[in-house]
Amino acid sequence: MTLGFSILDLALVGEGQSVGEALAGSVALAQRAEALGYERVWYAEHHNISAIASSATSVLIAHVAACTKTIRLGAGGIMLPNHAPLVIAEQFGTLAALHPGRIDLGLGRAPGTDRVTMRALRRDLDARADRFPDDVLELQAYLGERSRVPGVEATPGKGTQVPLYILGSSLFGARLAATFGLPYAFASHFAPAELEPALALYRREFRPSAQLQAPYVIAGINVLAADSRAEAEEQFVRVRRMRAGLLLAPGRKLTDAEADALLATPAGLALEQMATHTALGTRDEVASTIARFAELCGADELISVHPSPTVEGRLRSVEILASAVLG
């Protein structure tokens, strides 16, 4: 089986950039990915993070789908505890009706934000995550032919069979995906620790389903590809400093020295572990790292995250990766 290649776009808002400009960059990236032959582009639901503009995920998917023709688009993912399954079924049923055969729905259990923002999103902060398996089944049924809630159907949604994917970074998601017979996407681009045991568990416990007859694994990897090693390394420094500010000192504007000092703390060193699986450098260097990572995880598909701080850098990274792995 040929290894598939896709993109997870965080709709990054660069320094001095407006949200509108960031979203235009996401359109340009999807159009470039379509022309280069990538399988799909996904967008992640995050909230109250100033550098990420994909919080209204289904709205962004609709806009990008209207600006492209063939590439698959979807959520990587919708944080289902934040939503009623019926609402998500209606949103993605609408997307599927507008763009048949092009829509994916990846589902996560995490809130995609901090606890203060969780309270702004919903009131029952602890109970909803515990309902995640039942919510997945309820959502799947709304998108199928028979609802699990008597008298309630998703319109649009019913009969669309939008394919579901379970997202995760732990054994919980792996076991759930295996039990339900769904594809499993592991977030190794930011949570690498349990990659190998989670994938082993998923493959070992997988049960065939109507959607999927054999295990299907997607693994995330960061890619900072540039025309020179020095350029890629300079981008990586900027990315690391940006993450330090966003995650370790939210709401503050750090100097480079302050960001570097934070990265040297225990919390900063833990943050650096997020980038364990990163392909960095020129075309040949990136190709070599990708090959090693693919062998490590044995994935059916790799989904690349291009965190370059500029739209131009992300577009170039997508191009270089395509030249290395798509021919």
We report the CATH number of the domain holding residue 137 as 3.20.20.30
**Structure-token pair, residue 271:** 């943050």
Report pLDDT for 15: 85
DSSP code of residue 3: P
| Within a domain: 237 | yes
Regarding whether 158 and 13 lie in a shared domain, the answer is yes
pLDDT for position 112: 59
Check whether residue 128 and residue 235 sit in a common domain: no
Tell me the C-alpha distance between 34 and 29, whole Å. Answer: 9
From 95-99, 101-105, 245-249, 311-315, the region with the lowest mean pLDDT: 245-249
Average pLDDT, whole number, for the chain? 94
Within a domain: residue 207? no
Is 189 domain-assigned? no
Q: At which of 162, 191, 209 does a domain end?
A: 162
What is the per-residue pLDDT across 230-282, written as a single tens digit (0 to 9) for each? Answer: 999 999 999 999 989 888 888 888 899 999 999 999 999 988 998 999 999 99
In a domain, 34, yes or no: yes
- Give the Cα separation of 92 and 59 in Å (integer): 10
Buried b (16+ CB within 10 A) or exposed e, 22-47: bbebbbbbbbbbbebebbbbbbbbbb
pLDDT at 123 exceeding the cut of 60:
no
Could you tell me the residue range of the domain that residue 321 belongs to?
221-327
Question: What backbone phi and psi angles, to 5 degrees, belong to 260?
Answer: -65, -40
pLDDT at 48: 86
Nearby residues of 188 by Cβ (< 8 Å), 6 or more positions away: 169, 195, 219, 220, 221, 276, 277, 297
For residue 164, which of 187, 189, 138 has the smallest C-alpha distance? Answer: 138
Tell me, yes or no, whether 28 and 152 share the same domain: yes
Element spanning 103, H or E: strand 103-108
Indicate if 29 and 144 belong to the same structural domain: yes
Question: Which residue, of 118, 137, 162, is where some domain finishes?
Answer: 162
Q: How confident is the model over 49-70, as pLDDT tens digits? A: 889 999 999 999 999 999 999 9
155-190, pLDDT tens digit by residue? 999 999 999 999 999 999 999 999 999 999 999 999
Question: Same domain, yes or no, for 14 and 155?
Answer: yes
In a domain? residue 203: no
- Read off the pLDDT of each residue in 293-307 and give the average, rounded to a whole number: 97
Confidence category of residue 122, pLDDT binned at 50, 70, 90: low
Q: How far is CA 242 from the centre of its chain?
A: 19
Are 23 and 156 members of one domain? yes
The reply to whether 264 falls in a domain is yes
pLDDT of residue 324: 96
Co-location of 34 and 102 in the same domain: yes
Q: Is 179 exposed, middle or buried (0-12, 13-18, 19+ CB in 10 A)?
A: middle
What percent of the chain has pLDDT above 90?
84
Residue 305 domain-assigned (yes or no): yes
Per the domain annotation, does 300 fall within a domain?
yes
Q: Please, which pLDDT band fits residue 124 given cuts at 50, 70 and 90?
A: low
Neighbouring C-beta atoms of residue 308, cutoff 10 Å? 24
- Give how many domains the chain has, as a whole number: 2
